[in-house]
């Protein structure tokens, strides 16, 4: 084949991957990563089983690609918008708001992709569980780093133990809002969580003008 023909074939492969992964992440958010079989995905994406198998090389390859695709979508929805605000407390508040919105807006049908798939994976050691858990550790670490930066910059009063606990509390509120909204079908949990996050940050000395994202 000519270089152009190879490029075209690659472009078609990339487009097919995107279509399949969009279905796959959404399906996994509802059914769990274990429910992500090539047969079900063929139904929901409209692609043939053999193309899916060719592109991803089996169920595990598909699951790993879905986790990576979900991480990309989360980054675009939550992490990138917060980068527009200065590091520290303002960026932290924006990250928390974007994380609540990402769940509330059902970017994935089953709410937060990682919350939906993590519990499922507890009993299934292997590379897929490692990928989900690795992502959770990274996200929690990133959020805690923002809290630490805000403390170091004097934007909040918090020693090392308080930084760790504060990050834990903020993540707990975010995860609870997602779980409770899925339980009740209501949006109220997001507002309760945002109000609790805001109050908690005010208590450690954050200025109201830095918390506008959570207002």
CA distance 174 to 171: 5
Minimum CB–partner distance for residue 164 and its own copies (Å)? 7
CA distance 90 to 208: 10
Q: Determine, following the binding rule CB under 8 A, whether residue 205 of this chain makes contact with its own copies.
A: no
User: Could you tell me where the DSSP H helices lie in 32-88?
Assistant: 38-45, 49-56, 59-74, 80-82
Q: Which of 60, 101, 120, 144 binds its own copies (CB under 8 A)?
A: 120
Tokens found for residue 131? 């990928």
Tokens found for residue 191? 């507002």
Q: Which of 72, 80, 105, 122 binds its own copies (CB under 8 A)?
A: 122
Place of tokens 């507890």: 122
Q: Determine, following the binding rule CB under 8 A, whether residue 183 of this chain makes contact with its own copies.
A: yes
Footprint of its own copies on residues 129-158 (CB under 8 A)?
Answer: 133, 136-137
Select 11 or 215, whichever has its Cβ closest to its own copies. 215
Dmax (CA) for the chain in angstroms is 66
Contact at 8 Å (CB) between 88 and 207? no
Q: Which region, judged by CB under 8 A, interacts with its own copies, from 85-93, 141-149, 187-195, 206-214?
A: 187-195
Binding site for its own copies (CB under 8 A): 30-32, 110-111, 115-116, 118-120, 122-123, 133, 136-137, 164-165, 168-169, 171-173, 175-176, 179-180, 182-183, 189, 192-193, 195-196, 203
């Amino acid at each position: 084949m000519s270089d152009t023909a190879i490029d075209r074939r690659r472009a078609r492969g990339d487009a097919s991957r995107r279509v399949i992964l969009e279905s796959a992440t959404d399906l996994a958010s509802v059914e769990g990563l274990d429910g992500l079989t090539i047969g079900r995905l063929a139904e929901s994406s409209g692609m043939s089983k053999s193309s899916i198998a060719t592109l991803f090389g089996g169920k595990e390859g598909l699951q790993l690609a879905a986790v990576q695709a979900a991480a990309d979508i989360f980054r675009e929805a939550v992490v990138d918008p917060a980068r527009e605000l200065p590091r520290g407390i303002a960026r932290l508040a924006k990250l928390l708001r974007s994380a609540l919105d990402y769940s509330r807006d059902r970017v994935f049908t089953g709410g937060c992709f990682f919350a939906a798939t993590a519990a499922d994976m507890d009993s299934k050691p292997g590379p897929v569980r490692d990928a989900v858990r690795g992502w959770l550790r990274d996200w929690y670490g990133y959020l805690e780093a923002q809290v630490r930066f805000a403390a170091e910059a004097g934007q909040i009063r918090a020693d090392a133990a308080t930084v760790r606990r504060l990050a834990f509390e903020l993540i707990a509120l975010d995860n609870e809002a997602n779980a409770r909204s899925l339980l009740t079908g209501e949006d109220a949990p997001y507002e309760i969580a945002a109000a609790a996050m805001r109050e908690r940050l005010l208590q450690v000395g954050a200025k109201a003008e830095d918390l506008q994202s959570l207002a």
